[in-house]
């Protein structure tokens, strides 16, 4: 028996570094996957995979993701929120209101919209699982990532608020905090003047006690576990998948 056999799981940010690996792992474990991202060009619909293009900061586009999912698969067992944007390290006095609002909108408001859309079918089915992906930087901040870290802190508090609210409905809500991960997002945290490749080596890799960057597969595997029956009593948890960066 595969670990996610016949589960219908919605993955946001499905075209990103962690998203692609997560969709692959979920399909390998027998899930049906709804893969949502700004752009899903080139992703082919199959019996088990439904790509949906959506800007998840927009209510009507979020609504379309969930209605398309229900049309094709007739239920929703899980939601994994991976969509997000980085912030180039910027001293607070240089952060514009527009930048602040954009980061909060994508990283915190979009998860609110997707969770709000996922809960009604889950309540009706008598259970489900939500995993919001925040960041270890909300536990151990780095200078200049002020808006990004605030957005991820909001995601953690919001997830724990939902975990207590939804426990009686059999809906589990958890958080994964990735450490610095080897995706295209990582370079985007560097300050505008910094050399991206050397920052990856000298700042990010060096900051992980276990001595390597986090692989998207490390994150995908943690998401398989949290979506599976093996985690059936785990809710309100914040799982650091970070090689010890948060210690
Ligand atoms: N890479 C890291 O070092 C790292 C560390 C900690 C946390 N994280 C978090 O992990 C998650 C995944 O990161 P990743 O490294 O795979 O990043 P990524 O940039 O590779 O992927 C993010 C995806 O989100 C999508 N996206 C952005 N805005 C969107 C919107 N409005 N609507 C729909 N989709 C949107 C992008 O198109 C992209 O495909 C993010 O939430 C990120 O903040 C990443």
- Dihedral angle, C-alpha 12, 172, 218, 205, nearest 10 °: 80
Residues 34-39, mean pLDDT to the nearest whole number: 99
Task: Tell how far CA 43 is from the center of its chain.
Answer: 19
Residue 245 has pLDDT above 90, yes or no: yes
pLDDT in tens, 65-81: 999 999 999 999 999 99
Sign of CA dihedral 14, 77, 62, 32: positive
**Per-residue model confidence (pLDDT) at position 193:** 80
Count structural domains, the chain: 1
- Please determine, for residue 43, whether its predicted confidence score (pLDDT) is greater than 90: yes
- Cβ contacts of 124 within 8 Å, gap of 6 or more: none
Q: Which of 23, 41, 84 to mutate to test the pocket of ligand 1 (most atoms within 8 A of CB)?
A: 84
Per-residue model confidence as pLDDT tens digits over 172-208: 999 999 999 999 999 999 887 888 888 888 889 999 9
Examine residue 61 and state whether it is found in any structural domain, yes or no. Answer: yes
Residues forming beta bridges with residue 49, ordered by sequence position: 33
Token code pair at residue 187 = 């370079």
In a domain, residue 142? The reply is yes
What's the whole-number average pLDDT of the chain?
97
Residue at 1 is within a domain = no
Give the domain CATH number at 60: 3.40.50.720
pLDDT at residue 63 tops 90:
yes
Residue 210 belongs to a domain = yes
* Closest atom of ligand 1 to CA, residue 184: 20
pLDDT at position 6 = 97
Give me the domain span that covers residue 190: 8-241
Q: What is the pLDDT of residue 197?
A: 84
């Amino acid at each position: 028996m595969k670990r996610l056999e016949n589960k219908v799981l919605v993955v946001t940010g499905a075209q990103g570094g962690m998203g692609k690996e997560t969709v692959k792992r979920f399909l390998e474990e027998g899930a049906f996957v709804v893969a949502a991202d700004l752009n899903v060009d080139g992703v082919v619909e199959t019996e088990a995979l439904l790509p949906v293009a959506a800007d998840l900061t927009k209510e009507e586009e979020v609504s379309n993701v969930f209605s398309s999912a229900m049309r094709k698969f007739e239920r929703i067992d899980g939601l994994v929120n991976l969509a997000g944007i980085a912030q180039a390290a910027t001293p607070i006095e240089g952060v514009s209101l527009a930048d602040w609002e954009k980061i909060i909108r994508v990283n915190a408001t979009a998860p609110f919209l997707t969770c709000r859309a996922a809960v009604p079918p889950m309540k009706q089915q008598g259970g489900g699982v939500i995993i919001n992906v925040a960041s270890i930087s909300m536990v151990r901040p780095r200078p200049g990532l002020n808006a990004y870290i605030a957005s991820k802190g909001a995601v953690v508090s919001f997830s724990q608020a939902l975990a207590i609210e939804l426990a009686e409905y059999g809906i589990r809500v958890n958080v994964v905090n990735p450490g610095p991960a080897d995706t295209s997002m990582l370079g985007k945290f560097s300050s505008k003047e910094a050399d991206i490749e050397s920052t990856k080596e000298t700042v990010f890799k060096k900051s992980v006690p276990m001595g390597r960057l986090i692989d998207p597969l490390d994150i995908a595997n943690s998401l398989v576990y949290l979506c599976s029956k093996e985690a059936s009593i785990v809710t309100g948890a914040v799982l650091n998948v970070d090689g010890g960066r948060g210690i």
